[in-house]
Structure 1
């Protein structure tokens, strides 16, 4: 149901937006919604890339399990799948190696652009279908050995009483929203490369139905195999996706028919298919980010390399930090990557706002067209006129263009204007409502990494930063990638009157990097100041580690420990706390490294002021040295957290990394962003090579 009510309508909109704008997400919002809304495209690109930070780690898990499958590392009498999983996740070097391999494969796949991506995706998708059908056949054979198809029947038997449970519908909506990547900007990105007569509506339906078909095949494969061999299949399938994939399935596949050969084929085929699926998602994620760089005049190869390095570096915390076997989170001792889950907690629902921004752009276009026609005397004023002209404007002008075999009717308008805002509200309210209802008072504590406040804080900082950066963003030329014979009119759009929106190969006229020579250094200084403020919050915050039970809580900082019981709070220095020498040593080392990072950030500000705002001449000083100081500052801030975490005692009883440790990582991100601003707003180096 939600495939047709949410996912496909949004994908149709994305294809139409990208095919007309011929740019990535930033350019699309700039062209369709106007200069003031380019930041919405930046948000969309960021959410996809931020998800890519930790998704590369997850894709590495799939690749590792394919390697274990092909080397018979998951079969045999003495194989304990929980032990294999724990040893892998608790071996940072191995996790990072496979994370790196995923990113390296992705980089090679997209290095040369659209044609290379298309070839790689065709190979991967065809192989995925073949492998999944092979695995499905073996699973069904296993399920039929006892004379029944328990897994098949469980999957397709409808429990009608469950349809009255709102949670069922909300979960279905959530699954549909994420599985098709609707609103994520990927369809916008790929539609840049479409021919003029490409059928976007057929592609949208095909994409949605193919995605759901693969999901059904994969689900049937898993359930049939589990029901064939598991004594308690219901307990197994309700343990969460990671537990099913990496703990339960290896045990199930080890009992495949055909002995060791059958187990090898089943294990290898399934995890190879899973790796292919993960790689196709990574390719889309990286290409979405790269497309935005290329649109703004950067060479493709440099953009691919920069994006890949950034995804690797910012994915390291998800690979290294807060992997715990604490019984508080995992009663059976299974290793859980909690930092990764916190990142998903923060950025996963940001995808909903990407979809909202796409809908807003469509609503804005319809309203603007209706207003223009009212002023010209071509449309009636009032609600009746708006319903007659404005609501269908986007569909009439950009979807039903005559190039599609499927004509989209008013049902699409109803879904985008009525159903979408309702479903969006249901998702957001249910998400935060459940969190507030089950989290108690701690849900509002900013030191709670799984609370509401930390999500709103991160969303607010990122959105606020992008809104401020918007002014600089739209002062850079935007190059539309228009294939030969696919020229289209954008004069009716805000971007049509933007002198800096042009076609690839054109050279900007009456434009120079002197539009606002002080803008770049001001942005760099502002970003660095924010980084320093966050670093100071982390330096003096008492929530690097936290543990709570009822009214009793313990929060550990780099130098102090804060103990609260009911209304009483005591703060004690770590060096005075008996038996806490290791915590004191770890905190002291982390504190020194963080101070070094703050010193580099301060040096970056000083160099920026000297170079751009004074007449003092410093020999050989240029922007390259400022960018290097920013990068060093950001890198050292992130290193401070990693070193601190590594020096903690192995038998630590603390299971929660507090928000101040995460804030230190975010501080490092902003210092690196300052270096990115130094590179990004380099107006004198606009490339006009073919995309």
Structure 2
């Protein structure tokens, strides 16, 4: 019998706080920035059909599983894996998830710095000033390495300050204000955009469906990548947020359906905020990654109240990225604080300092940031997702988790159809995405870096936990309470 002493664990103060934490974590640059330009490159309304279909049939079951896993174990990532796998090297799969999160945040922090910089200049009405040139502005900003590093430093210092306040007083207080404010800012943009002459073409692009795009494999691959990666499935975020749930909170509703609705709604809202405006002034909808930082910025001087619209967009953009970064960092903070003797204060400072140091190359060089982003988006994140789905689907078992945690106090009852989706369908599709990307990028630097991640991270995780858990007694994987609740 385990003699580990369990201390009282923090919980979300309200259900609304839990829901906003889930939405705040999942909704970030992938929704406000990436969703519109990927949608623009893949047929507009047709992409939305593919995205929403895959979101609800694939990502939602996975999010429910991960949230319930955290609720069941009431532990961070590594502790949850140990609960299922028993102590030893196999718990290194949990270390892989933490390592991927740290790597992700190391380059996401500089990106938050970009949105902070643009939000600041929107308040100064720089984008509507005489002689402003969007591309020259962006290039000058990216060339100023000292400024980029300074913004990265400010972001991580601010994240640390919020996390030092804890779950209720820090994270929850921020997300319950930031997420609604972000939605309101986008909604105001939508209202302004649809009143512009020519905006109906943007609405037609967003809502009309060119069915031929649904016959293209690229549309479905892009939609699946957006559905899985923009929700943060398998990053340990839903697991960590779920570990702070109260006993009577509803996992399927909050951790799955509501998150998916919020995720898809904000992405579509961002598209509706952008496309009517850019169509009104003749900008192409498939402008790519520069849609927000170059193309949209060029639009603001051309429309009435463009300066105010710029504040609305970049203010919401900053809030979206910052809340995501906050909860992403909390994944590592929760896990490290449980696995070491460090206090929460010591853990927050250690983790944030480490992420800051690892993020310096990405802050210094945009090219380096782009490289690690592609590497971890296509290799690191799927690897982390597969680690979590392996623990749930193949070790603990989805049926057991469904009885013990998913359907506990749930208003929406999840049936047995969920089990094979979590165990077989979602992992198969993830492997397919990775295989397709490997085929497409065969021999490239990104593929080589991806192979290094796929091999080095699990090996490092196994070695770390073999040493860390060396003194523990091997135990049975899961000691489930008697009877199904």
Using the size of structure 2 for normalisation, the TM-score is 0.83
| 1:59 to partner: Cα distance | 0.7
Higher helix share: 2
User: What is the distance in 2 between the residues matched to 1:54 and 1:163?
Assistant: 33
| 1:206 to partner: Cα distance | 0.6
State the secondary structure of the residue aligned to 2:346.
helix
State the secondary structure of the residue aligned to 2:275.
helix
Task: State whether structure 2 residue 317 is matched by structure 1 residue 274.
Answer: yes
Equivalent residue number for residue 229 of structure 1: 281
State the secondary structure of the residue aligned to 2:448.
helix
Task: State whether structure 2 residue 246 is matched by structure 1 residue 195.
Answer: yes
| 1:421 to partner: Cα distance | 2.8
Superposed, 1:345-424 pairs within 5 Å as 345-349=374-378, 350-365=380-395, 392-401=399-408, 403-424=409-430
Calculate the aligned-residue CA RMSD, in Å. 1.9
State the secondary structure of the residue aligned to 1:78.
coil
Give the counterpart of 1:449 among 424, 445, 450. 445
| 1:476 to partner: Cα distance | 7.6
Task: State whether structure 2 residue 199 is matched by structure 1 residue 151.
Answer: no
| 1:341 to partner: Cα distance | 1.2
Equivalent residue number for residue 5 of structure 2: none
User: What is the distance in 2 between the residues matched to 1:81 and 1:412?
Assistant: 48
State the secondary structure of the residue aligned to 1:226.
helix
Give the counterpart of 2:333 among 282, 285, 290. 290
8 Å CA contact 1:256–1:266 kept in 2: the answer is no
User: What is the distance in 1 between the residues matched to 2:424 and 2:77?
Assistant: 24
Closer, same or farther in 2 for the Cα pair 1:493/1:169, shift >3 Å? farther
Structure 1 stretches of 4+ with a deviation exceeding 6 A read none
| 1:463 to partner: Cα distance | 2.0
Task: State whether structure 2 residue 194 is matched by structure 1 residue 140.
Answer: yes
Equivalent residue number for residue 8 of structure 2: none
8 Å CA contact 1:346–1:455 kept in 2: the answer is yes
8 Å CA contact 1:152–1:224 kept in 2: the answer is yes
Superposed, 1:139-218 pairs within 5 Å as 139-142=193-196, 145-146=197-198, 149-203=200-254, 204-218=256-270
User: What is the distance in 1 between the residues matched to 2:229 and 2:325?
Assistant: 14
**Of the two, which has the highest radius of gyration?**
1
Q: Deviations over 1:449-495 (max 9, x none)?
A: 33x223212332222111111112325889xxxxxxxxxxxxx9625
107-116 or 267-276, larger mean C-alpha shift: 107-116
Q: Deviations over 1:38-63 (max 9, x none)?
A: 11111111111101101101110000
Equivalent residue pairs, number: 422
Task: State whether structure 2 residue 452 is matched by structure 1 residue 469.
Answer: no
Task: State whether structure 2 residue 318 is matched by structure 1 residue 318.
Answer: no
User: What is the distance in 2 between the residues matched to 1:239 and 1:57?
Assistant: 23
For structure 1, the 5+ residue unaligned runs are 322-336, 368-390, 437-442, 479-491, 498-691
Give the counterpart of 2:139 among 86, 92, 99. 86
Closer, same or farther in 2 for the Cα pair 1:315/1:495, shift >3 Å? same
Higher strand share: 1
Structure with the bigger RCO (C-alpha within 8 Å, sep 6+) is: 2
8 Å CA contact 1:55–1:282 kept in 2: the answer is yes
User: What is the distance in 2 between the residues matched to 1:9 and 1:188?
Assistant: 13
8 Å CA contact 2:179–2:320 kept in 1: the answer is yes
Task: State whether structure 2 residue 296 is matched by structure 1 residue 301.
Answer: no
Equivalent residue number for residue 244 of structure 1: 291
| 1:392 to partner: Cα distance | 2.7
